[in-house]
């Protein structure tokens, strides 16, 4: 699998660099896995978190680098610790032993070959909890197909309907790429299954983070999803946008208002969305943003 890094086209940017020879593409990741940390995370959607927490592994680097990213310390500043595939598999097992509801892979796209190998190795050693693929949705269909049968829950964040808003993520074809990726996720996992405790065992939760000043774009995202998937997916309409540094776009230098958020929620309900998570204003807090301390947290 790792020969795919010889001429890397794993993500839609298709940089074609040889990461095995330390050539760096857009994401700046080499062939070495780097993680910002791992722990039992209590702040995902309830059916992901469960009572014990989601066994979350934060991967450093990113193929989008959104200018408002809350995890910029690891996505853009590349803070983290280098590990190998064997260590990644042992972390998964360690999280399972700690009682994790699942293994939650955050920003995994650029490490798909190594992650696939680690999951297979961990399963051979007894990993039996669901695997969550937590992504910006800027994915290649061909790369997602490499993971078929290994991922139990897809957790994509569908960001923009209007490709002009891709300027916030330095990309100009976001919607087409992301929606094709979502179709592949749904092809792989077309139904939802829960355990006796109400934890999601298999399914898709599509997140959408509403950006201040762009509620009409959010409505278009939700309308698209509902027309395409009805309530056969779970929606997660997020209110947690929190400005963490001064940006060149003034609308991004403030929080979402209650009126903006309620407008989008009302719209979703009125068109028929029912299978949906919503957030209160407490989520607009820096206390919800991970602090990457350089240790493993666990």
Tell which phi-psi region holds residue 94, choosing left (phi > 0), alpha (psi between -120 and 50) or beta: alpha
For the cut 50, the answer to whether the pLDDT of residue 298 exceeds it is: no
Q: Compute the distance between CA of residue 188 and CA of residue 149 in angstroms, rounded to an integer.
A: 8
Q: Domain limits of the chain? A: 2-288
Q: Compute the distance between CA of residue 241 and CA of residue 179 in angstroms, rounded to an integer.
A: 22
CATH class of domain segment(s) 2-288: alpha beta
Query: Tens digits of per-residue pLDDT, 120-146?
Result: 999 999 999 999 999 999 999 999 999
In percent, the amount of the chain with pLDDT more than 90 equals 88
Contact 298, 41 (CB under 8 A): no
Query: Tens digits of per-residue pLDDT, 235-284?
Result: 999 999 999 889 999 999 999 999 999 999 999 999 999 999 999 865 54
Confidence of residue 71 (pLDDT cuts 50, 70, 90): confident
Residues 6+ apart with CB under 8 A from 24: 17, 30
Cα 116–70–117 angle (5° rounding)? Answer: 5
> Side-chain half-sphere of 48: how many Cα atoms within 13 Å?
29
Provide the pairing of β-strand 54-59 with 33-41: antiparallel
Nearest in space to 137 (alpha carbons), one of 113, 154, 112: 154
């Amino acid at each position: 699998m790792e020969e795919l890094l010889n001429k890397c086209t794993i993500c839609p940017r298709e940089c074609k660099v040889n990461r095995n020879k330390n050539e760096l593409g857009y994401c700046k990741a080499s062939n070495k896995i780097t993680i910002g940390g791992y722990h039992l995370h209590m702040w995902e959607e309830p059916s992901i978190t469960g009572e014990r927490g989601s066994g979350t592994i934060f991967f450093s680097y990113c193929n989008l680098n959104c200018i408002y990213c809350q995890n910029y310390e690891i996505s853009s500043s590349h803070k983290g610790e280098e590990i190998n595939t064997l260590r990644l598999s042992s972390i998964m097992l360690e999280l399972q032993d700690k009682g994790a509801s699942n293994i939650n892979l955050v920003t995994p796209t650029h490490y798909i070959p190594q992650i696939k190998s680690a999951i297979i190795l961990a399963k051979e050693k007894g990993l039996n909890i669901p695997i969550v693929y937590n992504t910006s949705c800027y994915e290649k269909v061909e790369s997602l197909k490499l993971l078929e049968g290994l991922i139990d829950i897809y957790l994509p964040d569908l960001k923009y309907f209007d490709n002009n808003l891709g300027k916030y993520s330095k990309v100009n074809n976001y919607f087409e790429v992301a929606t094709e990726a979502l179709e592949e996720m749904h092809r792989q996992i077309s139904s939802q299954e829960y355990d006796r405790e109400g934890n999601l065992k298999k399914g898709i939760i599509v997140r959408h983070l509403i950006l201040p000043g762009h509620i009409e774009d959010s409505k278009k995202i939700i309308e698209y999803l509902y027309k395409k998937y009805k309530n056969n997916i779970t929606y997660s309409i997020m209110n947690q946008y929190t400005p963490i540094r001064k940006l060149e776009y003034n609308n991004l230098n403030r929080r979402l208002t209650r009126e903006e958020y309620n407008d989008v929620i009302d719209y979703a309900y009125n068109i028929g969305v029912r299978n949906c998570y919503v957030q209160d204003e407490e989520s607009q807090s820096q206390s919800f943003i991970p602090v990457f301390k350089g240790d493993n947290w666990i």
